[in-house]
Amino acid sequence: MTDPLPFYRTLRDEHPLYYVAELDTYVLSRFADIWEVLAVDDGTFVASEGTLPAASVLAGQNSGPVPDPPLHPMPFHANFDSPIYDDVRRCTSAPFRPRKVTDLADRIRALANQRLDELLPRGTFDLTQDYGGIVAASVVCDVLGLPVDLAPDVLATVNAGSMARPGDGVEVANARPGYLEYLVPIVARRRADRSGGASPIVDSLIDHVLPDGTAFTDVEAATQMLGVFIGGTETVPKIVAHGLWELSRRPDQLAAVRADEFNVRKAREEMIRFCAPAQWFARTVRKPYTLHGVTIEPGQRIITLLASANRDEREYPDPEEFIWDRRIERSLAFGRGQHFCLGVHLARLEISIMVEEWLKRVAEYRIDEQAAWRPPSSFQWGWNSVPVDTRTKG
């Protein structure tokens, strides 16, 4: 949890299909294997035990296929297979389609510059929390219909929710105390009064009819928004801060990226590969599947180490090096297949804009590497704090 990269390398080289007997779980670490498995969409791999099952869930061994959960009280929709998963996902997808995301560019740019107007006069601040974190959380507030002045509170709540102790794991997909305190009132207010403009996600969830003819309660509808609430707040700030840190370590690369906004988009993809904090996702097997000569049986699990795939030398030459213009033909940083990240287009846009505006306005900056903080985590292994000094050297 403190430094998984050497373990990932050993797994890739020596144990590409690693079996954890006490959890009855297989671990995949190579890019090509994960790429293959996540592309299977015929119900072989499901998330009925969650995409991030806690250690307590994994400790229970299954005797056969695990069915989808009951419809009520409905957990996060990623726990269901098609068609329920696909139908509910569509309820939350409208603001994240490419054309809708493009419409957010001016708003994101304004938020980035508003933060820089406030932060740059200070000279020192935190790249992850004060810059990227507030911008990303503000966008999430906009999309979900929360007041933007709640962005600092949303950011703090999501950061706290991803912490984990060794042996416990983290259940990001299920509502921890605090998450639904923001989301349930949105649904309740909208159900009572739909005046005041569009609210596509909430309206779609309120109107959605489940296969048994029932609708979501307020809590159930709010639970379906957790992916947007958590994913939209957590990942982008860590990529932006860590990516700018890597560029600061390489003045030649920094100069090349600064020279052209098109280069920012190239560097963005390497930032995503090198800096994306999500480490893994799990699936439970529902149909037998053979890999590396081993047949994985229904009820057993597969953990896909996406972060290991991002450092796989079979896919990326010299993967431990940050290369701003690396040719990246395939990426697993946002997943693949049925559970491919809903907010991928928004995330890419946010990263590009925040890096562009930073490089336009900050001529020189220095990261306080000794004070940077990346807490051990079984899931979000990212830099929660990246202190920066933007005062020019005299």
Residue recorded with tokens 């416990």: 168
Nearest partner of 145 among 105, 92, 103, 102, judged by Cα: 92
Which tokens is 393 given? 């050297």
Q: How far apart are alpha carbons 275 and 263 in whole angstroms?
A: 17
| pLDDT at residue 394 in the model | 41
Q: How far apart are alpha carbons 113 and 391 in whole angstroms?
A: 18
Strand-pair partners of 278: 380
Strands 124-126 and 294-296: unpaired
| pLDDT at residue 377 in the model | 79
| pLDDT at residue 1 in the model | 81
- For residue 218, give every residue at least 6 positions away whose Cβ sits within 8 Å of its Cβ, in sequence order, or none: 184, 187, 188, 191
Q: Which CATH superfamily is domain 5-389 in?
A: Cytochrome P450 (1.10.630.10)
| pLDDT at residue 55 in the model | 85
| pLDDT at residue 181 in the model | 94
| pLDDT at residue 2 in the model | 85
Strand-pair partners of 291: 294
| pLDDT at residue 170 in the model | 56
Nearest partner of 199 among 94, 342, 74, judged by Cα: 94
Query: What is the pTM (predicted TM-score) of this model?
Result: 0.95
Q: How far apart are alpha carbons 312 and 38 in whole angstroms?
A: 17
Q: Domain coordinates of the chain in residue numbers? A: 5-389
- For residue 113, give every residue at least 6 positions away whose Cβ sits within 8 Å of its Cβ, in sequence order, or none: 357, 361
Q: In the chain, where does DSSP find H-type helix?
A: 5-14, 31-39, 55-58, 84-93, 98-102, 105-119, 134-144, 151-161, 179-192, 200-207, 218-223, 226-248, 251-258, 261-275, 306-309, 344-361
Maximum Cα–Cα distance for the chain, whole Å?
70
- The C-alpha torsion from 269 through 274 and 276 to 277, rounded to 10°, is 180
* Sites in the chain below the pLDDT cut of 50: 173, 394
280-338 pLDDT per residue, tens: 999 999 999 999 999 999 999 999 999 999 999 999 999 999 999 999 999 999 999 99
Nearest partner of 20 among 305, 288, 279, 286, judged by Cα: 305
Nearest partner of 334 among 356, 314, 359, 351, judged by Cα: 351
Which tokens is 303 given? 């953990």
Q: How far apart are alpha carbons 248 and 257 in whole angstroms?
A: 11
